[in-house]
Amino acid sequence: MKLQEILAIGQSLYVTWKGRVYSSLLLDIRSTYLDIGVIQSLGEHVYLFPGASVVVGFGVPDRGYFRFVTIVLDEFKDPAPFVRLAYPSKIERIQQRRHYRLPISIPFSYRVINDVRSHRSLITCQGHTVDISGGGLQFIGYEMLMYGDRLEIDMQYGQSLPMGLVGTVLRTMDNLDGTHQVSVQFESLDWQQEEAIIRFVFQEQVRRRRLQL
């Protein structure tokens, strides 16, 4: 598998270095190297020194999520700042679906907004996730929901996950213990919301992998 076959200029990348995940973009790709945008933290440039080992991850619609390990060749300032990475010897596909579903329990609140004029839309319900991805989530809740119900979801996880997500119920299952397991597909996410969720999932994967070392 060649990077040129699955990556496009402008592709969003997630660069892991020293246990932290940074966002970047693909600027150019050649047979022996690829150039990416410099990485930043809180608006400050993070310098990647030559020889540093980094992990680069990216998702490709309908093909999956990929990752490779490479080293930094150099950083350049002209004509615009960028980082040059060595072309990887191996590319690993870690998830065949477009969005990796991260198993995690996160408390959140939601409202049913099929009709914002109804009394039901004013009731805030509670649930906790079973898993989450850039495409949707599964959760456990106490309310009986129906296929097609539209939910407004507010995640309660600091500032890592966006608020005001809207999703549609795809499946429900009665757990026979007073709770229901519900599958929700996000709808009309803007790129910032989707990027925030995918970044959170990737960072959590990296954190868990480090704990296993």
pLDDT average, residue stretch 197-209? 82
Identity of residue 119: H
Measured CA to CA, the distance from residue 72 to residue 54 in angstroms comes to: 7
Domains of the chain by residue range: 3-95, 102-193
pLDDT digits (tens, 9 = 90+) for 115-125: 766 767 788 99
Measured CA to CA, the distance from residue 142 to residue 134 in angstroms comes to: 24
User: In the prediction, which pLDDT does 77 show?
Assistant: 86
pLDDT digits (tens, 9 = 90+) for 168-178: 999 999 999 99
pLDDT for residue 213 is more than 70:
no
User: In the prediction, which pLDDT does 96 show?
Assistant: 47
pLDDT band with cut points at 50, 70 and 90 for residue 98: low
- Decide: residue 128, CB within 10 A, 0-12 exposed, 13-18 middle, 19+ buried: middle
What is the rounded average pLDDT for all residues in the chain? 86
Could you give the angle at the alpha carbon of 20 between the alpha carbons of 14 and 22, nearest 5°? Answer: 35
Residue 141 β-bridge partners: 127, 180
Sign of CA dihedral 162, 182, 151, 97: positive
pLDDT band with cut points at 50, 70 and 90 for residue 202: confident
CATH architecture of 3-95: Roll (2.30)
User: In the prediction, which pLDDT does 210 show?
Assistant: 78
Torsion angles phi and psi, residue 116, rounded to 5: -65, -10
pLDDT digits (tens, 9 = 90+) for 133-179: 888 999 999 999 988 899 999 987 766 788 889 999 999 999 999 99
Measured CA to CA, the distance from residue 88 to residue 91 in angstroms comes to: 7
pLDDT average, residue stretch 107-122? 82
Task: Look at the block and give the residue holding tokens 């890592």.
Answer: 160
User: Alpha helix locations (H) across the chain?
Assistant: 3-6, 191-212
User: In the prediction, which pLDDT does 13 show?
Assistant: 87
CA atoms within 13 A on the CB side of 194: 16
- The beta strand positions in the chain, using DSSP E, are 12-17, 20-29, 33-37, 39-41, 44-46, 53-60, 64-76, 82-86, 92-95, 102-103, 107-112, 125-132, 136-141, 150-155, 165-174, 180-186
Q: What is the pTM of this model?
A: 0.57
Beta-strand pair 12-17/125-132? unpaired
pLDDT digits (tens, 9 = 90+) for 17-59: 887 778 889 999 999 999 999 987 767 788 899 999 999 988 7
The third-level CATH classification (topology) of the domain covering 102-193 is Thrombin, subunit H (2.40.10)
pLDDT for residue 71 is more than 70:
yes
User: In the prediction, which pLDDT does 79 show?
Assistant: 77
